[in-house]
Amino acid sequence: MGNKILVLLGPLTLFWYGVDNLKKLGYDVVTHDMVENGSGLEQIFLLVEAENPNLVAIDGCFPLRVAAIGHALIKRGIKCLPILERRDWTIRRRKSKEGAVVESRPVIDRLCESFGDGFLAFNTRGDLCGRTGEIHDLSALEKFFPPAIVGTGTAESHEETAD
């Protein structure tokens, strides 16, 4: 199992630049169109089992659907990230009952409940972003992949330990 990323494409997917960026970095990227091939959770679970990716990215769905899919995958121990549009990062301001101005990112806040505090997501340009929209280096993806096994001996010494 290498560094495989499965990208689930939904009905709102237009084009995501991240696939090309990830391929250039050496990741094995597989896409799956949930509209044509079924988008129920059971179909998604079967697909994830068949592809055995290290990471699932979810694109082209409404934020609540992304949250539901992400939550279900995370409960099964599958690491996943949403792909969000620019408007999903928008700060909304409203007045509280006390009259104070309260800022929130409703989409991000809802997704953080599903994906956890270490929230990361891709934007439409293929950048990796944190909760407030700050851009992270794509090397932050390495935490989603198993560490490389570095051999220190010869082939014969590995055969001896396998017996």
In tens, the pLDDT along 128-149 reads: 898 888 888 888 888 777 665 4
CATH number of the domain where residue 97 is located: 3.40.50.2300
For a pLDDT cut of 90, what percent of the chain falls above it? Answer: 12
Domain count, the chain: 1
Q: Other CB atoms closer than 10 Å to residue 13's CB: what's the count?
A: 17
**Cα angle at 8 between 41 and 132, to 5 degrees?**
105
Domain hosting 82: range is 4-162
Strand 92-95 relative to strand 101-104: parallel, antiparallel, unpaired?
A: antiparallel
90-114 pLDDT, tens digit each = 888 988 889 899 888 888 888 888 8
